[in-house]
Every structure is written in C-alpha cells, then in structure tokens.
Structure 1
Amino acid sequence: MEFSKVYFLGIGGIGMSALARYFLHEGKLVAGYDRTPSRLTAELEAEGASVHYDDDIRAVPEEFLDPHDTIVVYTPAVPQEHSELRYFREHGFTVEKRSQMLGHLAEGKYVMAVAGTHGKTTTSTLVAWLNRGVTGGGSAFLGGISKNFGGNLVLGSGNRLAVEADEFDRSFLRLFPDVAVITSADADHLDIYGTHEAVKEAFSQFVRQIRPGGALVIKQGVDLQLDNPSIRIYRYAYDTPCDFYARNIRLLEGGYYRFDLVTPGGAVDGCTLGIPGWVNIENAVAACAAVWCAAQADKGGFDADRLREALASFSGVKRRFEFYVNTPRQVYMDDYAHHPRELAATLASVRKMFPGRKVTALFQPHLFTRTRDFYAGFAEALSLADEAVLLPIYPAREEPIPGVVSEIIAERVTVPCRIVGRDRLADEVAAMATDVVVSFGAGNIDACCDALAEKLKAKS
C-alpha cells in the first residue's frame, strides 16, 4: 500500500489510537474524527494529529481529500450511515477496518495474539512486557494504556509482535498468529453474533488460522472445537494442574501474590507479580505460556531470572484492577469489567485480597444490548458485594431499547442497591459508610475516578 496520509474514523478508540500513533511514528500525516474529545485525542493532537469532533466532511483537512495518497481506517463502532464514511466510500478512497490494517502491519512478524471475551488486555500487555524483559525487544498494539510503556503502542527490536485480538465484529479473524492465547469464550456481543454458539465458532475459526507449527494456549475448561492439526495445544489454569499453572500460591500484604510457575519444561520458583489480585496470576500464567511457546519456536532459552524480574516489575494497565487508594481504613480501585463474568471474577479477587472487609461495588452498564442480554448475570455478580451503586446505562454506539434501564439490574440485586447519576456519584459514595470500593464499567465512569479517590482518601 502506497499512501502518505491516514485518516481515522473513530481515532480516539483505544485500538485506533495505537494505529494512529504508529503512523505518526512512521512519518505519515494523520488526521481523524471522533465523537467526543478525550485524553487520548488530546495526546494524539499533541503528537501531531489533526482531530475534529463533528461528523462533517467540511471539517476534514483539505490535504486528506485526495484518494490517491490517503487511506481511510474506521472502527466498526462508527455507524454505516456516518456521513464522512459514506463520502470516502463514494469518492474512490481505500477504506479499511481497523482489523484489516492491523492484519497488514502484522505481516512478516512473529505474531503473539491474545483473544478472549475477558482478560485479554492485561494478558496481551503482560506478553509485551515479558517480551521486553526476557528478550529485550518486541513490539505491540495494545487494547489499554500500559503503565510500564506509558501508552498503547510499543515499538521495539526483533520480530515479535504482541496484539490484542478483538472478537467484536469478528475483527480477530484478520489475524494469522504464530502463538494464540484464548482466555475465555463466553457469550458476549450477541448484537453481532446472535448466539453463544456463533461466538464459539468464531473462536474456533481463529484457532484454525494459527500458522502451521504454531501454538495455542487455551484456558482449562474453555470448550471449543479445536481442529487445527498443524499446531501444538497447551492448557493453562490458575492452580489446576495442567500444562501451565501456578502452585504454592501465597497471599502477600496488599493483595499481591507469590507463586511458582509450572511449565512443560519445569517450574520457575518464587515468582511475584507486580500487580495484585488472583485473577492477574491467571493472566500471568497465560502470558508466560505464550512467551514460553515463542522461546521454543526460537529454539532459545526461557531465562527464569529475567522472567521473575519482568513479572515483579509489571505495573499493570490503566483501568484494569487499578488502585487509587489502598490503606487499612479505605481502599478504592477501578476496573474496566463490563461482562458479568468479569465483575464476578474481580469481586472474588477483592474478597480474597481483603477478607472480612465491606465491599461496595459501583457499576455503569455498557450498551443497551449487553444489559438486555445479561441483566440477570450482572445482578448476580453485583450481589457478591455487600452493597451496590448503579449508574444509568452508557449507550456508546446504540440507541435506547424500551424497558432496558439500570433498574432491571437493580431490582434483582440481593444486597442494598441504589441508582445515582454520574454527576452525583462521588458525593453519594463519600456520604456512605465505605471500606473497600470498586468501580466498574467500559463507559465514562472513569471520569469520576479522581473525584472518588480524593473524597475516599480524605475518609482514610
């Protein structure tokens, strides 16, 4: 593809912004549209991209209106009737989905792709960090802001490329990985897939696309049709004996864990992960398994000391089990969880980390369709807390669905539960008798984090 300019529709998305940063680094001219300003769009503008927030072809910089030297990349979250998208399609531009462009950039690389309906962002970021720690190189396109790398794009030496393989809109089927991790294949995005069986079939197709001689690392218990005879298949788990798992797990102060990592080549004793939570130990096992598979393919070593150092120095991902306050009197953390299984897993981790303490869950449902499909599951998960606070549904790309409101979750929660507006959340929570507070959601609840942290820190 020969082009000197890249225009992004949905430039502020976490995956899109990583691509935009890549092309800025490559010296291309970059511009784009997004619905609302954000921290990511502000950073892109500071790095040289031109960004506007009105769906209006007249707002597109003139130099991006020549189809001979401009390629257009869009996210599936942009509606098909978007006027700029229609204009580019009708005027001879090369228009590609984000996943298509990511597939182009992955060509010629040793691709380490992490897929799953949850857990993939932390796991893929860990893969990128372990690549850096163990081999000194590796690049990555990430689905979150890595605290270690300070962003969602990693440019490093060597041929390894870690990517988050997103199942939304079947985007991950544009990838042909050498090593693939599947963390989960739960029912999700049913507005796209229709049924859970269709979700599972897409994951099975993803497995078929692993390159001959490659490897699949799949969580123990995930039930998929695995019919790629040209690859090796490994299972991983938190502490259930299988190909890769953790043993001798010890809870340390502050919710951190020490463990021994068991691999087919032997155990790596005395590992400590730099972020808390048992669910992150499971993610770390998956990431270590992927790096182990890459080392086998390289016919290189799996340096235990470097691996321990990399695990211990991992700082995590913004909005994934992120602590704002952690004192004996008050804890506040924020998490991106937006599926019932994710909420339940995080709350189970919090219970293990802070036994006997009162847990308050704050949750902003994401999408009307997801709420419609999983409201009972959300209620069941939130009932694992001691009390819950719900925000109105964050619509993202969707129009309201009659009768689908946060109240259908709240009325099924079996612990005290209330609904508050986002603008009142910090004050409402500050007035409650809180101990351990966790906020959840993939919408804009994170805009409340600083205010919540300030008020809860004052209480500690």
Structure 2
Amino acid sequence: MNLNNIHNVYFIGIGGVGMSALARYFHANNKRVSGYDKTQTEITNALVDMGVSVHFNDSISNIDTQQLQVDNTLVVFTPAVPNTHKELSFFLDNGYQVMKRSKVLGLITENTFCLAVAGTHGKTTTTSILGHLMNCCDVPVTAFLGGISENYNSNLILKGTDVSVVEADEFDRSFLTLSPDIACITSMDADHLDIYGDASELKKSFQDFAGKIKPNGKLFVKNGLPLQGVTYGIEDDADYSVQNIKIDNGAYVFDVKTPKTIIKDIQFNLPGRHNLSNALIALAMAAEYGCPHLQLAKALASYKGVKRRFSYHIKTDDLVYIDDYAHHPEEINAVYQAVREMYPGKKVLAIFQPHLFSRTRDFVDEFAASLSQFDELMLLDIYPARELAIDGVTSQWLLGKINNETKKIISKKELINEIKKSKAQVVLTIGAGDIGEEVKHIKQALQVAS
C-alpha cells in the first residue's frame, strides 16, 4: 500500500493514545483526518482544536462518502472496537482499505531506521525518554508515544522522518508488524492472557518479536530475561549498568557503565528503580544509534515524564498527590517501591480502579498482594474496557483477598469525600481505566481542603 495515494484517514477509536498519535502524524502530513470515539476526552478535544473532525455516536450517517472515497481513504481501527461496530462494518462491506493501527504503524516505519521498545511494563516511559533523547540530539526522528509527554504535551514527537521510535505493543500480537533496527524488551511478565491463553504463548510472542529485527540489527534485553542480546540492569554485571546510585534533592544521580566507558554523574528526575531501568535502556539504545554521551546525559536531566506515569499533582510538605497508570500487579509494586523510597514513614492511601475482568481474574492473588502493601486502600468497580462482565469477578471479590485493615469499596460519587476523610500524607490514584478523568477533580478538592 502506498500512503502517498491516500488523501483521507478515518479513525475508529481516534481517542486512544496510540490512535491519536497516528492521527496527529497524518494531520501533520497534510492528510484529511477524521474519526469516531465513544467518549469525549482531553485527547479528542486536542484533536478537534487542531482541525480534526471527531464525533461520538456510532452511525453510518456520520460518514461523508463523497469525501471519503474508496480509492483515496484509509480506515484505521483499534482492536478494542467490537465486531458489531456499525461504522467499521460499513467500511469493511464497501471495499475500503481497513487496517489495524499496528499494521499502519508498520507501514509508516518500515522504510525508516526504527527503534522499538517492547515489554509488558515500561514501554511508554521508555519510548518517551528515547524519543526525547533522540530529539535533543538533533536526530531527524518521528516518535510515536503511548502516553502524553510532559516535555512536548503530545504523544507525537515530529522532527524528521529518517528515524522512528515506536512503542511495540504485545497486545493482540501487534508488535509483530514491526521490523526494527534496534529493539529492546523490558519485561515478559504474564499479561493479556485473554489474548494469549497462558504465559508460555506470551513468551513465544516476544521471541517472535526478537526474530523480526532486521539483519545486522541489535536487541537489548533486561538482564535475566531468557533471550540473547545486549543486556542492561541496575547495579549488576550487565553490558549496560547503572552504578553508584544516590538521591539528591528528590532526583537520582548515578553513573552508567557501557561496554566501552563509564558516563559519570547523570541526573534523572523520575522516582523509582523501574524508571531508572527505563532511563538506562533508552540511553543505551540512543548511544547505540550514535548519539554523543554528553548530549544524552544533558537530555536525560531535562526529561519531565509522561502524564499518568507517577505524575505529581500536589507536592507539598504536608500532602503529596500522585496519579499513575499502573494496572498490573508488578506495576503497582513498582509504584509502591517508588513511593516508599521517596516518602519513607509517611502514610499512603491508594485508590485503585481494576482494568478488565479477565486481568482481575487471572491475577487476583497477585493484585491482592501488591495492594495489601499500602496503609489505606479504596477500590473502584472494575473498568470493563472492551470486555463483558465475568460472573463472580468483582472488586468486592478482590477486596476480600486483600490483607489490609483499612480497605473499602467506593463509587466515583463517593470518591472525593472518602479521600478527604483520610489522614494519609500521600494519596495515589492508580489504574488504566477512566480514573484518569477524576484526577483534576481530586486535585482541586484536595487543594481547597488543605
């Protein structure tokens, strides 16, 4: 398929973070972009402000067939869209070129020098760090991010088209459409078992992804993973290693040992050892591409983070409010570790919205263990996303397995009042569902209360 012959790009699920990055890309390349999403969000509002036409009801009456002609229109959809979607069915039935987001990303990047970040955790932060590093080193890069970068207030960094940085998503085996020159795998913990069935199939998919790397390409793997490649790790004997870690005024200061040298006194402002690991692999991939070490160190110090990845909304001596996208037990453990490292001895309240009935079912004991660590816990109902309810799988079921004396189920309506009752000095909202839409209201209420 020749994208140069495409004049219109229509997105079904345009408000998704990965989909909206593609929408921004095509808009910047002078394509006429429009689409559907089921809910209005900050992302869809930003697209509308750019001149993208977005609607929120699934109806073929919204499709302008005079403008969206079969021979010059590409339809992009997300696998989260159900098969019963009326607009998707219309395009499929009428001969349009219809592709999943991952396939389109593969087309865009296949003729570029592609750096891809894979793994069940850390993809979005690592990709955004890598895109920032390449941009600061004046590389002609397009970076497609799975979150909104605080540095650019966007999920797209567009500085050129010779090089691409992409998040390689294992969901629905999407990353197998990519053919990267340099890739990394950050983790291979079991997830998306609704797609894979069991952990062994997920691991096989990562092995298949490793096999997609171009000839003479390079694979980086976190030390300890069962794959061959350049290794990286924290304070160990990996090829790239973080060493001599100190915390100075809330920031990490450390050295990086590379296969050839040591880069000293690097500063990085995101808390948590998981973020240190993300910073390390992003630096290693950029260095492998050829970016100068001193420029990389300077760029890393200026990195601000990704929205909803350990995002501070209140940070005073008396109260800290942090929001994070964590939706897997290992991610919750990483958030807990970061909070305890930065705020030892302070009482921590976590408000968690489970994401997907299947994930809650598959990891209920692991969720219970990770959530039991917090001083106080509030659970919202499970966010269904693309799924129908599973009998017996509820937040109440999860709550019963959690070993915490101060725990309760709450509704969104009760959320702010219940948070105000707490004596916690650190408040966390955690989850990948629509809990992110509540953050601004919680922040405002806590600021008024304090």
2:412 pairs with 418, 422, 437, which one?
A: 422
Instruction: Tell me which stretches of 4 or more aligned residues in structure 1 moved more than 6 Å.
Output: none
TM-score by length of 1: 0.94
* Residue in 2 that maps onto 1:276: 271
* Residue in 2 that maps onto 1:327: 316
Letter in 2 for 1:319: R
Q: Structure 2: 5+ residue runs without aligned partners?
A: none
How far apart in 2 are the matches of 1:22 and 1:158? 11
Match of 2:208, SS state, is helix
Q: Which deviations, in whole Å up to 9, do the C-alpha atoms of 1:54-95 show, x marking residues without a partner?
A: 111112234444211111111101112212111111111111
Cα deviation for residue 19 of structure 1 reads 0.7
Indicate whether 1:237 and 2:218 are aligned.
no
* Residue in 1 that maps onto 2:286: 291
Indicate whether 1:377 and 2:372 are aligned.
no
How far apart in 1 are the matches of 2:395 and 2:293? 48
Residue pair 1:257, 1:277 contacting (<8 A) in 2 also = no
How far apart in 1 are the matches of 2:447 and 2:45? 28
* Residue in 1 that maps onto 2:197: 194
Letter in 2 for 1:71: L
Residue pair 1:189, 1:370 contacting (<8 A) in 2 also = yes
Change (3 A) 1:438 1:215: same
TM-score by length of 2: 0.96
* Further displaced range: 319-328 or 133-142: 133-142
Q: Which deviations, in whole Å up to 9, do the C-alpha atoms of 1:225-274 show, x marking residues without a partner?
A: x4xxxxxx2111122221111111011233x2111111112111000113
**Superposition map of 1:33-72 within 5 A:** 33-72=36-75
1:31 pairs with 29, 34, 40, which one?
A: 34
Match of 1:27, SS state, is coil
CA RMSD of aligned residues (A): 1.3
Q: Percent identity?
A: 45
Residue pair 2:110, 2:178 contacting (<8 A) in 1 also = no
Residue pair 2:353, 2:379 contacting (<8 A) in 1 also = yes
Letter in 1 for 2:237: P
* Residue in 2 that maps onto 1:441: 431
Letter in 1 for 2:231: R
Residue pair 2:349, 2:424 contacting (<8 A) in 1 also = yes
How far apart in 2 are the matches of 1:258 and 1:458? 35
Q: Which deviations, in whole Å up to 9, do the C-alpha atoms of 1:363-417 show, x marking residues without a partner?
A: 0000111111111111110111111111001111111111111112111111121
2:110 pairs with 98, 107, 112, which one?
A: 107
* Residue in 2 that maps onto 1:4: 7
Indicate whether 1:22 and 2:25 are aligned.
yes
Letter in 2 for 1:396: A
Residue pair 1:146, 1:318 contacting (<8 A) in 2 also = yes
Match of 2:137, SS state, is helix
Match of 1:401, SS state, is coil
Match of 1:423, SS state, is coil
Match of 2:234, SS state, is coil
Letter in 1 for 2:433: G
Q: Structure 1: 5+ residue runs without aligned partners?
A: 227-232, 296-301
Cα deviation for residue 451 of structure 1 reads 2.0
Q: How many residues align?
A: 446
* Residue in 2 that maps onto 1:229: none
Q: Which deviations, in whole Å up to 9, do the C-alpha atoms of 1:304-325 show, x marking residues without a partner?
A: 3211210110010000010011
1:141 pairs with 141, 144, 150, which one?
A: 144
Indicate whether 1:249 and 2:245 are aligned.
yes
2:257 pairs with 255, 262, 277, which one?
A: 262
Cα deviation for residue 458 of structure 1 reads 4.2
Residue pair 1:329, 1:435 contacting (<8 A) in 2 also = yes
Letter in 2 for 1:172: F
Residue pair 2:287, 2:293 contacting (<8 A) in 1 also = no
Match of 2:24, SS state, is helix
Indicate whether 1:431 and 2:414 are aligned.
no
* Residue in 2 that maps onto 1:413: 402
* Residue in 2 that maps onto 1:154: 157
* Residue in 2 that maps onto 1:303: 292
Letter in 2 for 1:122: T
How far apart in 1 are the matches of 2:448 and 2:261? 48
Match of 1:261, SS state, is strand
Cα deviation for residue 326 of structure 1 reads 1.4
How far apart in 2 are the matches of 1:241 and 1:454? 46
* Further displaced range: 408-417 or 154-163: 154-163
How far apart in 2 are the matches of 1:189 and 1:437? 28
Residue pair 1:257, 1:278 contacting (<8 A) in 2 also = no
* Residue in 2 that maps onto 1:230: none
How far apart in 2 are the matches of 1:440 and 1:356? 21
How far apart in 2 are the matches of 1:115 and 1:336? 17
1:395 pairs with 362, 384, 394, which one?
A: 384
Cα deviation for residue 153 of structure 1 reads 1.0
Cα deviation for residue 136 of structure 1 reads 4.6
How far apart in 1 are the matches of 2:73 and 2:160? 28
* Further displaced range: 49-58 or 131-140: 131-140
**Superposition map of 1:197-216 within 5 A:** 197-216=200-219
How far apart in 1 are the matches of 2:210 and 2:301? 31
How far apart in 2 are the matches of 1:449 and 1:277? 21
